[in-house]
C-alpha cells in the first residue's frame, strides 16, 4: 500500500496544455515553495539546483522568498556558485530554505489586505510583470493543489498577454490528496514521523487511570495520513518485546480506534466498544484525522453564532476549531475517562527532513521537472493514476485537491481488523 509503482501504462491520450508553442532557450529559472510545510521542500529545491547545474551550470536560478508573497513583492535570492556547490546539504533538512506562504493570486481582496498589491491592481498582472522584469523563462512551483492551480492561473494569464512562460510544478502535500497523483512528495515521511511522535505520547497512558489519548493527525479532507501513520506505528509495535507481568503490555500501547473523514461511524456504538477496552486495559488510544467531524463542529459553532475562521483559499482554519478536543469531549463522557489528552503531531511531522523513500521519489520528480522545463512542457510531475501510475508531466487542468482516501484498500481493512474496529460506511459521520 505504500510503495511506488513501476508498471508501464497503456498508451495515454495527449491532453497536454502548455504555455510554450515550442521549446525556447532557457536562460533563467525561478523556484518557489508555497502552502504548508512538507518533508520534501528543502530536498526538492536542492534537487532542482543539482539537476540544472549538471545539465547547464550557465542557467541562472533565483528563488522567490516565501512563495507567491515574494513574487508579488519582487523579493528573491540568487542561487550563487557557492549555493550550487552545497545544494546536496538541502536534502538533510526539513522546512523550506526559501520560505513559504499561503497566497492565492486570484483572491484580490486578500492580496490587498496583506499589502502584497495596491488597491486596483490585479495580483496576476503584478506577478506577471515581476516575472517579465526578472527575465524568468521557467517557474518551478513546489506545493499542493492550491499552489499548482495558482501557477496554472498565472501561466494562462501570461500566455493570454503574450509572454510565454513554462511552469512546472512538483506535488507537495502530506495529506496525499492531489488528483490524479498517486503519491505526493513528503507524505511517506510524514507518516513515519507521526509514528515516532506517537511512540512517545502514547506512553502517557501510564500517567493516570482510565486515560483517553487522542492523537490528532493532519488531513483536512483526506484520511490517508492518519491511516498510514497508524500502520507505521503498529509496525513499530511489532518490533517491540513486552513484559505484561509488570504492566508493559502491548494492549495499553496499541491503537484502539482510527477515524478518518471518509468513514462514517456511529459514535454511540463506538463508545460502547471502546468502553469495554477502557474497562479491560485501563486506557484508550485513538488516531484521528483533523478533518473528521469538521462539518458537524462548524455547524455547532455557527448555531452558537461563533465565527469560523477561513484562510485565503476559503478553507476552515482547523487550528481554531480543535477537532481533537471536540472528539475528546464526546468520548470522554461516554467512556468515563478520568483524564483526556489530545496531541497534535502535524507540525512535528510536516517539518521533518525527507526519508530515503521520499528522497528517491523527489529525485525522480525533480529530474523530470527539469527535463520538461527544458523542452517547454508545463504541468505537474507525478505518478499519474489515470495512466497506470506512470511518472509523467500531468496537465494543469487535471490537477485538483480533495482526493478522498480509499477506505476499501486491503491494507486499511487489515489495520482496522487488527485493532478490532469495524469499517464504517462511506456515509457522513453519525453523531
CB 69 within 8 A of CB 33: no
Please give the C-alpha separations between residue 159 and each of 104, 136, 156, 167, 377, in angstroms, as whole numbers. Answer: 19, 14, 5, 11, 13
**Nearest-angstrom CA–CA distance, 390 and 387:** 6
Indicate the burial class of 35 (C-beta count within 10 angstroms; 0-12, 13-18, 19 or more). buried
Burial code (b: 16+ CB inside 10 Å, e: under 16) for 160-175 equals eeeebbbbbbbbbbbb
Which of 111-119's residues contact partners 24+ apart within 8 Å by CB, and which partners? Answer: 111/72, 114/69, 116/69, 116/72, 116/73, 117/72
Please give the C-alpha separations between residue 202 and each of 91, 159, 188, 329, 399, in angstroms, as whole numbers. Answer: 30, 53, 21, 18, 37
- Is 386 catalytic? The answer is no
Continuous segment of H or E residues that includes residue 84? helix 81-85
**Nearest-angstrom CA–CA distance, 2 and 388:** 16
Interhelix angle for 145-160 vs 123-134, to 10°?
Answer: 70
Which one from 145, 175, 358, 367 is the annotated catalytic residue? 175
DSSP structural state of residue 17: -
CB 221 within 8 A of CB 251: no
DSSP β-bridge partners for residue 400: 179
DSSP β-bridge partners for residue 410: none
First vs last C-alpha separation in the chain? 31
**Which active-site residues does the annotation give?**
175
Amino acid at each position: 500500500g505504500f510503495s511506488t509503482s513501476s508498471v508501464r501504462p497503456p498508451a495515454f491520450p495527449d491532453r497536454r496544455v502548455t504555455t510554450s508553442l515550442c521549446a525556447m532557450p532557457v536562460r533563467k529559472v525561478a523556484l518557489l515553495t508555497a502552502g504548508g510545510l512538507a518533508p520534501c521542500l528543502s530536498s526538492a529545491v536542492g534537487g532542482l539546483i543539482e539537476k540544472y547545474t549538471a545539465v547547464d551550470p550557465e542557467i541562472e536560478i533565483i528563488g522567490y522568498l516565501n512563495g507567491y508573497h515574494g513574487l508579488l513583492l519582487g523579493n528573491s535570492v540568487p542561487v550563487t556558485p557557492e549555493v550550487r556547490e552545497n545544494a546536496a546539504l538541502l536534502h538533510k533538512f526539513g522546512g523550506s530554505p526559501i520560505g513559504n506562504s499561503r497566497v492565492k493570486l486570484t483572491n484580490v481582496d486578500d492580496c490587498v489586505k496583506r499589502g502584497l498589491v495596491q488597491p486596483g491592481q490585479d495580483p496576476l498582472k503584478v506577478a506577471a510583470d515581476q516575472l517579465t522584469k526578472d527575465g524568468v523563462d521557467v517557474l518551478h512551483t513546489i506545493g499542493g493543489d492550491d499552489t499548482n492551480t495558482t501557477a496554472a492561473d498565472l501561466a494562462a494569464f501570461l500566455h493570454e498577454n503574450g509572454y510565454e512562460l513554462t511552469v512546472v510544478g512538483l506535488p507537495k502535500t502530506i495529506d496525499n490528496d492531489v488528483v490524479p497523483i498517486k503519491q505526493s512528495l513528503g507524505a511517506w515521511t510524514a507518516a513515519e514521523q507521526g509514528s515516532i511522535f506517537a511512540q512517545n505520547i502514547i506512553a502517557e497512558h501510564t500517567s493516570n487511570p482510565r486515560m483517553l489519548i487522542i492523537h490528532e493527525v493532519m488531513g483536512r479532507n483526506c484520511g490517508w495520513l492518519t491511516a498510514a501513520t497508524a500502520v507505521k506505528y503498529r509496525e513499530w509495535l511489532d518490533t517491540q518485546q513486552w513484559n505484561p507481568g509488570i504492566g508493559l503490555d502491548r494492549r495499553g500501547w496499541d491503537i484502539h480506534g482510527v477515524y478518518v473523514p471518509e468513514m462514517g461511524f456511529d459514535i454511540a456504538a463506538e463508545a460502547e466498544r471502546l468502553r469495554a477496552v477502557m474497562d479491560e486495559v485501563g486506557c484508550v488510544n485513538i488516531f484521528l484525522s483533523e478533518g473528521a467531524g469538521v462539518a458537524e463542529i462548524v455547524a455547532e459553532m455557527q448555531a452558537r453564532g461563533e465565527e469560523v475562521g477561513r484562510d485565503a483559499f476559503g478553507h476552515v482554519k482547523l487550528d481554531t476549531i480543535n477537532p481533537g478536543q471536540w472528539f475528546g469531549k464526546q468520548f470522554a463522557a461516554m467512556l468515563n475517562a478520568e483524564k483526556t489528552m489530545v496531541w497534535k503531531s502535524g507540525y512535528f511531522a510536516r517539518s521533518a527532513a525527507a526519508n530515503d523513500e521520499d528522497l528517491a521519489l523527489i529525485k525522480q520528480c525533480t529530474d523530470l521537472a527539469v527535463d520538461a522545463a527544458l523542452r517547454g512542457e508545463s504541468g505537474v510531475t507525478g505518478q499519474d493514476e489515470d495512466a497506470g501510475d506512470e511518472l509523467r508531466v500531468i496537465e494543469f487542468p487535471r490537477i485538483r485537491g480533495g482526493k478522498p482516501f480509499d477506505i476499501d484498500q486491503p491494507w486499511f481493512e487489515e489495520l482496522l481488523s487488527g485493532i478490532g474496529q469495524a469499517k464504517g460506511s462511506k456515509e457522513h459521520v453519525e453523531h
